[in-house]
Amino acid sequence: MADDALVLSHRLGEWAGHAPVLEEELALANIALDLLGQARVLYSQLGDEDELAFLREERSFRNCQLVEQPNGDFACTMVRQLFFSACQELLFGQLAELGDPLASKAVKEAEYHRDHAEHWTIRLGDGTEESHARTQRAVDGLWRYTGELFEPLPGPAPVGAVDWAALRAGWTERVTRVLTSATLTVPDSPQSGAWAAGAGRQGLHTEPFGRMLAEMQHLHRSHPGASW
Amino acid sequence: MTSVLLGEGAQSSEGPADPLADFEGAIAADERIEPRDWMPDDYRKTLVRQMAQHAHSEIIGMQPEANWITRAPSLRRKAILMAKVQDEAGHGLYLYSAAETLGTSREELLDKLHSGRQKYSSIFNYPTLTWADVGAIGWLVDGAAITNQVPLCRCSYGPYARAMIRVCKEESFHQRQGFELLLALSRGTEAQHAMAQDAVDRWWWPSLMMFGPPDDESAHSARSMAWKIKRHSNDELRQRFVDICVPQAEALGLTLPDPDLRWNEERGHWDFGPIDWEEFRQVLQGNGPCNEERIGRRRQAHEDGAWVRDAAAAYAAKRGTGRPAAQAVAQEQPRAQAQTQDQHDGETAVSPR
């Protein structure tokens, strides 16, 4: 979960200075910051956050493949965000009910992220012909990375007690509703990619991920042992 | 906000027989001029130009720093840098809004930026070559900006002055964070120290140029000071900045790249060497190291985003809300601002003073 947040935060950070309107510069940076904050809290329970972020290689990262996908155009970024945040909101909701104190704060952030992505998905899907086509393309392209979201994560309580089937049902219901009101078609293609669903959780990633890590880790690795 | 009274309309509704005398009286009494007040055309034009240039600088200024977001060497530094770049977008928004009270629009101003008819600060045409540049920008560039902007909090035009109060608070966070970043490098490994010194060497003179040409060559200065848009001359502010920086550089354990820098007991100020005004002119004319890249990137982002703005407008029209794209998402802004503030408050920074 920490890796998901870190990697998606990094991708959103790539938008800085490129957003279509000034308000989105703020919104995207804001979401990126929320996610980075989540990653840092989660890492701090496991060890040194910088060691975990900057000194592990591709095969040791456990993020899902969805979050490592390149930004593409704005529709692609918004659909990726919708898919991820809708899942995160439900997952954190369950964890909060199971008594995880961190989840109750994070669920509010995830709700805001989902709401933001949802509004844009609807606006773009039901906007112009071009925006509709781009958004449908994003939905179709990213669909195969969604199955992995519901692969049970190993872990102690409360993560072990998560009802993954309910998560999947809730997610499908929500996403279907959003895509429908955006006049978009829910793909009937399988929700699994080149590797079996759950591959990212086993450290099997897509090609762009290695390049992303190379950029992210370069400076830290160039100065071993330095503090910043 | 949009019902700004312009020129004659304001005269007839305000009533006074001599609006110019009224305006000058308000300036003399240090009262604030507000959007609905009568004001001379040149005052309005000067303000629009200055505020637009200021807003543009915030937006273009995101680029040199955003250049390092994906490479920040620790998660803490990455969070600080992201929050900073987000703040800059926010400052751009305040300033465009403030400029809009004078009867222009953000779209119009952006168009002028993209076509090169309006400028942004010369400093952002320099490249960020190492991580230490992020610190040097925070310490020196934001430091110079604050020195320039604090007096603007008392500027005669109300909306500008109020925007500056908010901007200055956030800028001083950034400046402290930049100082603290350099301090960490300066006290770090030999390579980190060298990186910090190199960055300061490259950013020092361009930062001094941020105060603009010397007083005897500054075209708009005298009038802006008479109107109390400006409160101090370029050279005065530059001297103030140098006086602040010298002891801070010492605290950092870094040197400033000026062999002529020495304390002048008589003046009670630091003397400093001559500025390369030819370089300044070249950068302003578009021949700096990154002029092409900066404006090219901005145009590209705007063009790439056109279909998104069109979609938002089309959607709003279908729904009959008639709200333009920018306003449709503006509701998310207050939360963004409030949160940035939280993140600042959570940061501990070493005060440079």
List, as ranges, residues 92-151 from B with C-beta within 8 Å of A.
92-93, 96, 106, 131
The answer to whether A116 faces chain B, any CB pair under 8 Å, is yes
Residues of chain B contacting A116 with CB distance shorter than 8 Å:
332
The minimal CB distance from A26 to the residues B90, B192, B328 is found for B90
Residue whose C-alpha is closest to residue B215's, from B196, B195, B200, B235? B235
Locate tokens 């008479």: which residue?
B226
pTM of the model: 0.90
Work out the pLDDT band at B343, boundaries 50, 70, 90: very low
| Predicted pLDDT at A108 | 96
Distance of residue A202 Cα from the nearest chain B Cα, in angstroms: 24
Suggest the residue from A21, A35, A77 to mutate for an interface test with chain B (most B CBs closer than 10 A): A21
Minimum distance, in Å, between the CA of residue B129 and any CA atom of chain A: 12
DSSP letter (8 states) at residue B224: H
Closest among A78, A167, A206 to B312, alpha carbons compared? A78
Over the stretch B120-141, which tens digit does the pLDDT of each residue have? 999 999 999 999 999 999 999 9
* Whole-number Å distance between alpha carbons of B158 and B145: 20
| Three-state SS at B187 | coil
Task: Give per-residue pLDDT as tens, B2-32.
Answer: 444 444 444 444 455 789 999 999 999 999 9
Give B51-62 pLDDT, tens digit per residue. Answer: 999 999 999 999
Under the banding of pLDDT at 50, 70 and 90, the label for residue B1 is very low
- Whether chain B has a CB inside 8 Å of the CB on A128: the answer is yes
Q: What is the pLDDT of residue B344?
A: 46
pLDDT number for residue B335: 45
Pairing of strands B269-271, B262-264: antiparallel
Question: Whole-angstrom Cα distance, residue B115 to residue B289?
Answer: 19
In chain A, residues 23-82 whose CB comes closer than 8 Å to chain B: 23-27, 29-30, 32-34, 36-37, 39-40, 43, 49-50, 53-54, 73-74
Q: Are A13 and B69 in contact (CB under 8 A)?
A: yes
The pLDDT of residue B71 is 98
* DSSP 8-state code for residue B301: H
Q: In which band, very low, low, confident or very high, does the pLDDT at B118 lie, cut at 50, 70 and 90?
A: very high
Instruction: Spell out the per-residue pLDDT of chain A, length 228, in tens.
Output: 999 999 999 999 999 999 999 999 999 999 999 999 999 999 999 999 999 999 999 999 999 999 999 999 999 999 999 999 999 999 999 999 998 888 999 999 999 999 999 999 999 999 999 999 999 999 999 999 999 999 988 777 788 889 999 999 999 999 999 999 999 999 999 998 767 778 999 999 999 999 999 999 999 999 999 999
Amino acid of residue A129? E
The interface residues of chain B toward chain A in range 184-223, judged by CB-CB distance below 8 A, are 184-185, 188-189, 191-192
Q: Name the residue facing A228 among B77, B304, B332 (closest C-beta).
A: B77
Peptide bond connecting A20 to the previous residue in cis, omega within 30 degrees of 0: no
Pairwise CB contact (< 8 Å): A36 & B311:
no
State the ipTM, two decimals: 0.96
